[in-house]
Amino acid sequence: MPSPSTVLVTGGAGYIGSHTAKELARAGYRVVSYDNLSRGHRWAVKWGPLEEGDLLDQDRLRQVLAAHNVDAVLHFAAFAEVGESMREPELYFRNNVAGSLSLLEAMHHSGVRRIVFSSTCALYGVPETVPITEDVPKAPANPYGESKLMVEKMLQWEGACRALQWTALRYFNAAGCDAEGDTGESHSPESHLIPSLLEAALGKRPACPIFGSDYPTPDGTCIRDYIHVTDLADAHVRALRHLENGGASMALNLGTGDGYSVNQILAAAEKVAGRPIPIERQGRRPGDPPKLVAAPQRAFATLGWKPSHSSIDNILETAWRWAAQRSASNA
Ligand code: UDP
C-alpha cells in the first residue's frame, strides 16, 4: 500500500488551520503543523506533530519540508484582521507577503509543487456587483486584502514560471466551530463579530461594539456571507485532491451565496444564548465594505463541494457551544 501523502499545514495551530488539520487526518493524510504560536494555540494541534517556526525563517522551513518528506502545503499562517491591518499595514506586508514569499522559495528549493492558499473576499474591496464572482475587478479596501491579492499574484507567476500547482480559496466570513468541540475559534483580543457577541453574552466583556448603522443596506448594518469553518476545511481537502488529480490551478470563492446583516447575526446570537446581548452602537469601522456575498458556483463545480454546515443557526450553535465550553474551563 502506498504511504499516505504528508501535508504541511502552516498556521495549523490557528482557527481554520486546526479545523482543516482534523479533516485532513480524517481523510487519511499525514498532517504536520508549522506555526510560530504568535496567535495560534498549542492545544489546537491534535492531528499530527507541531513544528514550531516562523515563515520568515526559511532555513527552518526547508528543514521541516525535508524532514517530513512533505508532498503539499496548505498555507493558512497569516494575520487576518481588517482593522489591525489599517492601523499597522507593515505587519501585514511582512508577515503575509514576505512570509509567503519565503514559503514559496522554500517549497521551490525542496521540490514541493502543490499549495492550497488561504485567500479572502477582502481582495474584492467594494465590489461593483454582488453576488461576487471570481472575475470581478480586485480593488482591496484594506492592507489585509491587498496582502492576500499580492500572494495570489505570486502564485500565478510561480505557476507560470515554476509549474507550481495552486488553488487560492477566497473565504467569505469564516464562522462556527467544530461540532465535537475538538477545536474552535480563540483570538486574543477577539475582534470578529460572532465570538465577540458570544463573549458579551457570557459576560466576558461589557458589550459588543456594532460598527456602523448607516450603510446602504436594508437595516443599515453590513451584510456578510458566513461560511462554517467545517465546510471550509472540507473544501481544502477537496482542493488538495483536485491538484493531486492534475486539476487546473485557479482561485475559488468559498461562501454560501446568502448574506446576513450584523443585526440579523445579533438576533441569531441572542436566540442561541437565550438572553439579550449587551451591545454598543459605534461608527463605521474603517475598511469595511457594506456588502460581501459570494457567487460560489465555480467552487461547487470544480470541487464537487457544497456547504452543509453553514445555516446561521448551526454556525451560532457550534460557536456558542465552544464559547461556553472555553468559558467554563477558563473560569
Ligand atoms: N463587526 C461589528 N462588531 C464587532 C466585529 C465586527 O459590528 O465587534 C462587524 C464588522 O464591521 C463587519 C462584520 O461585523 O461588518 C463582520 O466583521 P468580522 O470582523 O467578523 O469579519 P470581516 O468581515 O472583517 O472578515
Cβ–ligand 1 contact at 261 (below 6 Å): no
Cβ–ligand 1 contact at 174 (below 6 Å): no
pLDDT score, position 1? 56
Cβ–ligand 1 contact at 173 (below 6 Å): yes
Cβ–ligand 1 contact at 269 (below 6 Å): no
**Helix 99-110 and helix 58-67, axial crossing angle in degrees, nearest 10:** 40
pLDDT score, position 328? 87
Ranges of the chain whose pLDDT falls below 50: none
- SS3 category, 210: strand
Q: Domain-by-domain residue ranges, the chain?
A: 6-175+226-254, 193-224+257-291+300-329
Cβ–ligand 1 contact at 272 (below 6 Å): no
Phi, psi (rounded to 5 degrees) for 253: -80, 135
Residue of the CA atom closest to atom 23 of ligand 1:
173
pLDDT score, position 33? 98
Buried b (16+ CB within 10 A) or exposed e, 32-57: bbbbbeebbbeebbbbbebbbbbbeb
pLDDT score, position 118? 98
Rounded-to-integer distance, Cα 99 and Cα 46, Å: 24
Residue of the CA atom closest to atom 16 of ligand 1:
193
pLDDT score, position 45? 98
pLDDT score, position 329? 84
Residue of the CA atom closest to atom 14 of ligand 1:
193
Q: Which CATH architecture has domain 193-224+257-291+300-329?
A: Alpha-Beta Complex (3.90)
| Residue 144 known to be catalytic | yes
Rounded-to-integer distance, Cα 317 and Cα 170, Å: 24
Cβ–ligand 1 contact at 210 (below 6 Å): yes
- Count of residues in the chain: 331
**Domains 6-175+226-254 and 193-224+257-291+300-329 fall in the same CATH topology:** no
Concatenating the DSSP letter of every residue in 79-108 gives: ---HHHHHH-HHHHIIIIIIHHHHHHHHHH
pLDDT score, position 327? 86
Rounded-to-integer distance, Cα 167 and Cα 165, Å: 7
Q: Indicate which atom in ligand 1 lies nearest the CA of residue 282.
A: 7
Which of the listed residues 224, 225, 264 should we mutate to test ligand 1's pocket, taking the one with most ligand atoms within 8 A of CB? 224
Its CATH class, for the domain covering 6-175+226-254, is alpha beta
Cα(160) to ligand 1 centroid in Å equals 36
